[in-house]
Homo-oligomer: A and B are copies of this chain.
Amino acid sequence: MAKEKPAEAAPDLTQIFDSIEYPEAYRITYLANAIVFPAYADIKRDFGLVRAEYILLVSLSHFDRLTAQDVAKISRRPRNTISRAVHRMLAEGFLSRVSDPGDGRQALLQITPEGRKMHTKISAYLADRQERVLGGLSAEERKTLATILKKAALHAATLDT
């Protein structure tokens, strides 16, 4: 077996959590990556869904009817990415679409029972990964974290850019 580490230099790769110029942002991004990427890879492998597609399912499982534009706003993703996902999820039977009679430009999207079933499976992957990554925190820390995160997220949602 090849040697794992050169004996002289085994730098502690986590010291960057302290030395970085934007500590909160770095830690948030690090945790997001630690949660999302492995779950994302598993979901892609097991169900063939790409990110924009389960973003669509998640959004529509929490709101009765949304336009593609709404989903783009919720997820901060480009409209064309969502548009593509809509077509694939329509083809899969995971959602339905009806033109808005009141506004010919937009179409209202709705999740189907099949889509909801798929969303349940996907949620389990993400919830599991959340537990693994945040498992080192106490119940009290989890609660405090959730509260502050919510306040910050609500503030971030008011930013246009």
Contact = CB atoms under 8 A, between A and B. Distances in A.
B28 A76 contact: no
Given A32-B32, A34-B76, A152-B31, A16 B59 contact: yes
Nearest to A7: B102
Number of chain A interface residues as a range? 35 or more
Interface of A: 6, 9, 11, 13-25, 27-38, 58-59, 62-66, 70, 73-76, 100, 102-103, 123, 126-127, 129-130, 132-137, 141-142, 144-146, 148-157, 159, 161
A65 to B, nearest CB: 7
A133 B146 contact: no
A150 B126 CA distance: 21
Given A20-B58, A151-B136, A35 B27 contact: no
A96 to B, nearest CB: 17
Closest 3 CB pairs of A and B: A136-B155, A32-B32, A25-B130
B136 A17 contact: no
